[in-house]
Amino acid sequence: MSCSYVLAGHTDIVLCLDTCTTSSGRTLIVTGSKDNNLWTVKTNECVATYDQHEDKVWALTVGKKTEMLATGGSDAVINLWHDSTTADKEDAFWKEESVLKTQELENVVLDANYTKAIHLAFELRRPHKLFELFDALCKSVDAKNQVKTAIGVLSMNEYRLLLEHVREWNTKPKLCHIAQFVLFQVFIFSILSPTEKVEMKGIGELLEGLILYS
């Protein structure tokens, strides 16, 4: 029998180990000493080190279905670890998409394409930018038709979010005139039927907040 792998990285005695296979099919080895190391079998490299314990790690186990790791140490603490690889990749993807969409938003604003700009502002969750866009629309020559075009394509969720933003703007003296203008156009030009508006989640609370300052 010969040694196939040498995983060198711990500075003290290795007290426990376990193996797991990720959702992407990668085989990993988890080892416990004064800290926990995560190794990939393919390259024999340590891909992560977890040092939350204040003393030696005496026990560890990997959930076969949950992709969670539990470790127990001499510090009388049990730590639970969750594989956030997928979430981290999604966050990185969203950040990259956000940068691209932000640039696209600036470009369409320069082109005065307010319908597209408003849609992007919703996607990017930029309520202040959304207000700036409606403010610019209100000052345009053909304000009503421009706003009609912009809000006429809103989805149910975007319509609800817009009402939430309008409710917030309506409470501020410097913003309320734009809020009132948008609110009036929303109820006139929305493509949602009266039934859809009534069935909208939280519409009662939204209307109460809007009526209070209108």
Mean pLDDT by 10 residues, the chain (214 residues): 70 78 73 73 72 78 73 81 64 76 89 88 89 88 80 82 88 88 77 73 76 66
Q: Is the distance from CB of 180 to CB of 171 less than 8 angstroms?
A: no
Checking DSSP bridges between strand 78-82 and strand 45-50, what pairing results, if any? unpaired
How would DSSP label each residue in 117-163?
A: HHHHHHHTT-HHHHHHHHHHHHTSTTHHHHHHHHHTT--HHHHHHHH
Angle (CA) 118-120-123 rounded to 5° is: 115
Q: Half-sphere exposure of residue 135, counting CA atoms within 13 Å on the CB side? A: 11
For residues 68 and 34, give the distance between their C-alpha atoms in angstroms, rounded to a whole number. Answer: 20
* Predicted pLDDT of residue 112: 85
* Predicted pLDDT of residue 131: 92
Nearest to 53 by CA among 27, 25, 73: 73
